Structure formats: C-alpha cells, structure tokens
Amino acid sequence: MPQAYDVAAIGNAIVDVIAPATDDFLALEGLAKGAMGLIDEGRAEALYAAMGAGIEASGGSAANTVAGVASFGGKAAYMGKVAEDLLGEVFIHDIRAGGVTFETAPLQEGAATARCLINVTPDGQRTMSTFLGASVFLTPADVDASIIKAAQAIYMEGYLFDAPGARAAFVKAAGIARDAGRLIAITLSDAFVVERHRAGLLAFIEAEVDLVFANEVETMALFETADFAAAATALGQLTKTAAITRGEHGSVIMSDGQYEAIATKPVPAVIDTTGAGDQYAAGFLFGLARGRPLAECARLGHIAASEVIGHYGPRPQTSLKDLAFAA
Amino acid sequence: MPQAYDVAAIGNAIVDVIAPATDDFLALEGLAKGAMGLIDEGRAEALYAAMGAGIEASGGSAANTVAGVASFGGKAAYMGKVAEDLLGEVFIHDIRAGGVTFETAPLQEGAATARCLINVTPDGQRTMSTFLGASVFLTPADVDASIIKAAQAIYMEGYLFDAPGARAAFVKAAGIARDAGRLIAITLSDAFVVERHRAGLLAFIEAEVDLVFANEVETMALFETADFAAAATALGQLTKTAAITRGEHGSVIMSDGQYEAIATKPVPAVIDTTGAGDQYAAGFLFGLARGRPLAECARLGHIAASEVIGHYGPRPQTSLKDLAFAA
C-alpha cells in the first residue's frame, strides 16, 4: 500500500537572498566559488551590505527538494526550524503554499530565521554564505515519528551535520525510518561539509543509508581522491544506490555494482544554478517513490534541475508535473 | 552642463511579493486582472495566506524605473518612505546596491513597509494588491530640493495621488523642478488611479508636466473614451510629449502634435509583466537625459521592458547597458 507521503525531508530551514555578482567580488570577499560557507550574523550583515540588489526566496536544500516533489504532484512533508519573524513567515507560507506538510514549531526566542546570501556569477554558478540562525535549533523533539513512518522515503541534508542538535534529529529520524522499513536517502550537500564530517558521514552512510545524492566534487571529497571513477565505485560499494550529478554532463547512477550514465539536454541559458542539485533529488525521489526505474528517476531529476537553473531562485516556477508528463 | 543626476524620482517605496496564480484564483479573490487595487493590512495577510509560493523583490513603480536608469549606466536618485523593518532594509539595500542615491529617512513608528502582493497568471499578466503602509507617510519635508535641482528630469507616479501627503510632496517637487527649468515627467500608473483622480491629474498635467507615460487603457481612461487614437491625440495636446505603451505592439510617441509608432521585437517567453511599464520609462528617460531622439528613447524603453518580462521580478537582472550598447 502506498504511504501518505512520497518523501519526508529534514533540513536547515533557510531564506535565500540571491544577487548577481562578479568573480572579482567573490575574490574581494574571500568567497570560495561554488561552495557553501558558514558565517555569523555580523558577517551576514556586512556581506549583505556589499552585495548587489537581489531577490528573496525561500530556500534550504531539503526544503527545495520537497517543494520540487510537490511540484511533480507528489505528497511531501518537511521538518526544519525557523524563528517567529518575517522571514520565518515567508518560509512557512511558501512551503505550505506548495502543498507540503510543515508543522515544526518555530523557535520562540533567540536567533533569527536562517539566511543564505547567494552570489551568482555570470556563468550561473552560485556561491553561498549561510547564517544558520534558528535552523540549528532543530532537535530530536522536532522529529515527528508518525510522518517518518508515513513516508515512502526520508531525505536529509549533509548540512545538518554542522549542528549537533540537528545531527541528533537526523540520527533519530533514520532510526525511525529503518525500523519502519522506509528508504533512507541523504545528500552530501557540499564538499566542505564532507571535509568537516568525512568520518561521521562515511559511518552513517554505511550503517543507515540506502540512497546517496552527491555531485562529482563531493563524491571525490568523501574518498579523498581526484579520481572520479574510483570515488563513484567506492560510493557504490558503501550504499545501495548513489546518484551523482555532473552538471551539463548529466548524472551517474551506481546501483548494485553497476554504473549507468544518464545524459541531460543542454539548457539554453543558465541563469542561476541555485537549487540544481536539490531539484535533481526531487525528480529522482519522486520517481523512486512512484516505482519508476532508476534511469527514469534520473531523467525526472534532470527535468527539474533544468527548470530551476533557467531563473533566479532555488525552487520551480513552473509545474514540474506539466514539464515531465504533459504530452 | 549635464546635471549630477539623469533622473530623480518620487514614488511609493514598496516590496513586491510575486507568485504564480490561476485566473480562477483571481476570480475567487475578486481581483481585477491587470490592475492595482489598494488593500489594508488585514486583507494583505489574508490574501498572502491564500497565494502561492513566490519570491520577494524590491518594487515600487518609480523605484523600479530609477533602478533601470542605473542599470543603463545612468545616475539616478529616489525619494520614498519605508519603515524601520526588515522589508525596509531590503528596499534600501536594493536601491542603493544598484547605485541609486536614496536618503529619505525611514518612518520611525507606525505602519510597516509597503507590500504589493502580485499574482501572475500563466499569460504573464500581473495583478497587484497593494498595502501602502509606510509609503503614504512621505511628505513635502521628504522632498530634497537640492536633488531635484541637480537632475535633468524628475519622474513621479500617479500612484502618489492616492495619499494626500505624498501628493503634496509631488506638487512641491514639481514646483522646484519647474523653477529650476527641469523636465517634469509622470506616469499615469493605473486605470483605476486615473478614474479616482482624473480631474486632478488632468489639471496637473496641463499645468506642470512635460512628459507623460501611460498605457493604452490608462490613456483612454483619462479621457473617458474607448477610442485610443482620440485619447492619444488629446493627451498629445495636453502635454509636450506622451509615450504610450501598447504591450507587444510597442509604443506610440505623441510629440508636438506628431504621432509616431515604435515597434518592439517579440519576447520568446513572457513570464511576468511586472515592471514592464516602469522599465520602458527607464529606457525612455535615460535616453532623453542623454539627448537621444525620441524614437531612440522608445527603443531603449523596449529593450528594458523586454528584459524585465522574461523573468519574475520588477527590476532588470542583467545589465541594460550591456543589452542596449554592447556590440
């Protein structure tokens, strides 16, 4: 019998501030292009003041993914921590407006809702500086076991490893999912996250995880090698299925020792790659929850990623269901 | 000698919330498609709760226009009222980040920064519901005479006629500009604004205004006729120059009794028409301040409008200078 949810996700609940930037600006601000760096509130204010004019949009990696699942017509739930402030209201509005179940109680006092300052260079690459704020106050108490049990798959961000409480929530959710026989998926999130938490991630993946999402750089970082084929093979041995994104070259699926490359169509104009990996995961997870073959899951992932890189903002602006399934 | 500013603008300082919507949603919420309606804070909260997931972006008609002027490489200044809150900070950040001079003191207490809830239907049409908040607390004291005198042209929104204080600021600014020999431009803003303030607008245009921006519907509303040619002729008689936008059909310039139609190139995918008229005015005013012929001013307007309707959000996301002048 199908579950109430296709996917239940846990992640850092973040609002994005996205603006165009030059490569010189990244250099001047000491930002590592394409990566995610953690910053404190003071640095966030200074960096924001220096950034160009932009847009604000609800973000957060796993939240973007469940928004994508909902856009495919899937049923999704999300757990993450915002504050009781305006950005928190925006986050809650946007995730619920997409049809995603979201019931995590906002943080009552203390830190503000998390913000990710995203500088987008003319090549479409996004460089992220995150003030984690309220998002790291997610704790195991915020994990709703009934939702985890009612989902085909649970999906969690490697980003959560940066906060002890959130990491504990992550572990609790995995335990509930395992006991209920649910698929457990994670994304490695970022090469720097992998470097900070390599041992913990390796142990966790081996013990608990059925499906790993990663890009090439993260995969190589996990195994400390510059040899992508070797890293992909190692990841494939560590977990049942790995889906590794390769930008314009599509993605690679490692499953039961087999390697399969899936091509993607060129996107006419890449505007902003924010959310590309998140939307790939959305398509893949939606397909998997609906029993599609892995190669088709990857193709759904590419459809979603192609939509999101054609505009500023990390979530789909057109119906992924229509894009994928309309004649 | 050229002035310090190409354009100084006065307007309602607003942050936009832009989300996709269906025509059924507009009908259900009683919204007049393509128009701007004024709402109070309670209605704003209820409508926001009902809207889809969206993005937030600094807006305000005249503010969008000066952001466009700056994107062309022009020098611009802006006067408008925000509150001391997060949306006010976003507005100030974005307008200054574009290089626009903005020094209006924020409102210390009382209303929140103005918000415009914009529902975008699949045809790209935007329907706006505005909670004016702090923006209507702009007063003549906020008009900086030294900036007005230092600008080639001043530009004001018809929207300002809805708030007595702002309207007084409008009149004060026009007086300073007239005494300094500056060009005075306005936009009619919205057909409902025209209906609410027809007599006042007609008298003000005849007495003070050198250049009027309007679309077809607003032009016909001003003269209470369904005959566009008659309305355009009447507007041409009332003011020195009128630039009337006609969507995909380009624009019409009425000047010294002459009628000139300027075509525009088709835009491959119209995503969101928010800001189209504002950006047309940006290109036109920038060209005029730089001494270009009227037909070229209109073409610059079309370049800017075409950019902004290709994405969500009311301000350019690529350099208009590059679009217009790069070989």
pLDDT at B327: 60
Chain A residue numbers with beta carbons less than 8 Å from the beta carbon of B19 are 97
Give the C-alpha separation, A185 to A170, whole Å.
11
Give the C-alpha separation, A307 to A315, whole Å.
9
Chain A: give the shortest CA distance to residue B222, in Å.
35
Give the C-alpha separation, A243 to A184, whole Å.
13
Of residues B19, B90, B318, nearest to A56 (C-beta):
B90
B-chain residue closest to A20, CA distance: B317
Q: With 0-12 CB in 10 A as exposed, 13-18 as middle and 19+ as buried, what is A123?
A: exposed
ipTM: 0.91
Residues A24-42, mean pLDDT to the nearest whole number: 96
Weakest mean pLDDT among A194-198, A210-214, A244-248, B166-170: B166-170
pLDDT at A84: 96
pLDDT at A62: 98
Q: CB B313 to CB A317 under 8 A? A: no
Question: Would A27 be classed as within a structural domain?
Answer: no
Q: CB B271 to CB A317 under 8 A? A: yes
Question: Would A212 be classed as within a structural domain?
Answer: yes
Question: Would B32 be classed as within a structural domain?
Answer: no
Per-window interface: A 17-36 vs B, CB < 8 A: 19-20
Q: CB A85 to CB B86 under 8 A? A: yes
Of residues B53, B67, B86, nearest to A94 (C-beta):
B53
Number of CB atoms found within 10 A of residue B279's CB: 31
Give the C-alpha separation, A112 to A17, whole Å.
15
pLDDT at A164: 85
Number of CB atoms found within 10 A of residue B30's CB: 7
How is residue A1 written in tokens? 């019998």
Give the C-alpha separation, A105 to A18, whole Å.
27
With a cut of 60, say whether residue A247 has pLDDT above it: yes
Question: Would B118 be classed as within a structural domain?
Answer: no
Q: Is the pTM of this model over 0.90?
A: yes
Chain B: give the shortest CA distance to residue A172, in Å.
30
Chain A: give the shortest CA distance to residue B291, in Å.
28
Say how many CA atoms lie within 13 Å of B201 toward its Cβ: 30
Look up residue A5 and give its DSSP letter.
E
- pLDDT band of residue A29 (cuts 50, 70, 90) is very high
Per-window interface: A 157-196 vs B, CB < 8 A: none
pLDDT at B116: 98
Q: CB B86 to CB A87 under 8 A? A: yes
Give the C-alpha separation, A282 to A72, whole Å.
8
Q: CB A52 to CB B97 under 8 A? A: yes
Question: Cα dihedral sign for A64, A70, A72, A74?
Answer: positive
* Cβ proximity of A298 and A253 under 8 Å: yes
pLDDT at A165: 86
Chain A residue numbers with beta carbons less than 8 Å from the beta carbon of B58 are 53
Weakest mean pLDDT among A42-56, A156-170, B62-76: A156-170
With a cut of 70, say whether residue A1 has pLDDT above it: no
Q: Is A135's Cβ below 8 Å from some Cβ in B?
A: no
Give the C-alpha separation, B128 to B42, whole Å.
16
Each residue of A79-115: pLDDT tens digit? 999 999 999 999 999 999 999 999 999 999 899 999 9
pLDDT at A180: 97
Residue carrying structure tokens 């969500």: B312
Q: Is A76's Cβ below 8 Å from some Cβ in B?
A: no
Of residues A85, A86, A312, nearest to B317 (C-beta):
A312
Q: CB B97 to CB A19 under 8 A? A: yes
Per-window interface: B 274-293 vs A, CB < 8 A: none
pLDDT at A327: 60
Chain centroid offset of residue A5 CA:
18
Question: Would B125 be classed as within a structural domain?
Answer: no
Q: What percent of chain A has pLDDT over 70?
A: 99
Question: Would B212 be classed as within a structural domain?
Answer: yes
* List of residues 6+ apart from B12 with CB closer than 8 A: B60, B61, B62, B80, B114, B130, B132, B135, B136, B138, B157, B159, B160, B163, B166
Say how many CA atoms lie within 13 Å of B221 toward its Cβ: 19
Give the C-alpha separation, A110 to A70, whole Å.
31
Query: Could you tell me the CATH number of the domain that includes residue A315?
Result: 3.40.1190.20
A-chain residue closest to B58, CA distance: A55
Question: Cα dihedral sign for B306, B311, B312, B316?
Answer: negative
Residues of chain B short of pLDDT 50, as ranges, are: none
Give the C-alpha separation, A99 to A77, whole Å.
9
Listing from the earlier edge strand, what are the strands of the sheet with B114-120?
A: A36-38, A126-131, A114-120, A14-20, A55-58, B55-58, B14-20, B114-120, B126-131, B36-38
In Å, how far are A143, A221, B190, B247 from B216, measured between CA atoms?
56, 59, 10, 9
pLDDT at B1: 56
The count of structural domains within chain A is 1
Weakest mean pLDDT among A162-171, A215-224, B137-146, B218-227: A162-171
- pLDDT band of residue A163 (cuts 50, 70, 90) is confident
Q: Is A249's Cβ below 8 Å from some Cβ in B?
A: no
Look up residue B308 and give its DSSP letter.
H
Domain range for B214 is 5-13+60-106+135-325
Give the C-alpha separation, B215 to A128, whole Å.
41
Chain B residue numbers with beta carbons less than 8 Å from the beta carbon of A86 are 85-87
Residue carrying structure tokens 């005249």: B62
Beta strands A241-245 and B14-20, pairing class: unpaired
Q: If you write DSSP's letter for every residue of B188-228 in order, what string do you get?
A: ---HHHHHHTHHHHHHHHHHH-SEEEEEHHHHHHHTT-S-H
Chain A residue numbers with beta carbons less than 8 Å from the beta carbon of B99 are none
Give the C-alpha separation, B78 to B65, whole Å.
10
Each residue of B120-148: pLDDT tens digit? 999 999 999 999 999 999 999 999 999 99
Question: Would B173 be classed as within a structural domain?
Answer: yes
Give the C-alpha separation, A231 to B215, whole Å.
59
pLDDT at B255: 96
Q: CB A86 to CB B86 under 8 A? A: yes
Question: Would B31 be classed as within a structural domain?
Answer: no
In a 3-state reduction of DSSP, which class is residue A314? coil
Give the C-alpha separation, B120 to B49, whole Å.
16
For chain B, what is the total number of helices (H) and then of strands (E)?
13, 14
With a cut of 80, say whether residue A2 has pLDDT above it: no
Q: Which residues pair with B8 in a beta bridge?
A: B77, B154
* Cβ proximity of B282 and B317 under 8 Å: no
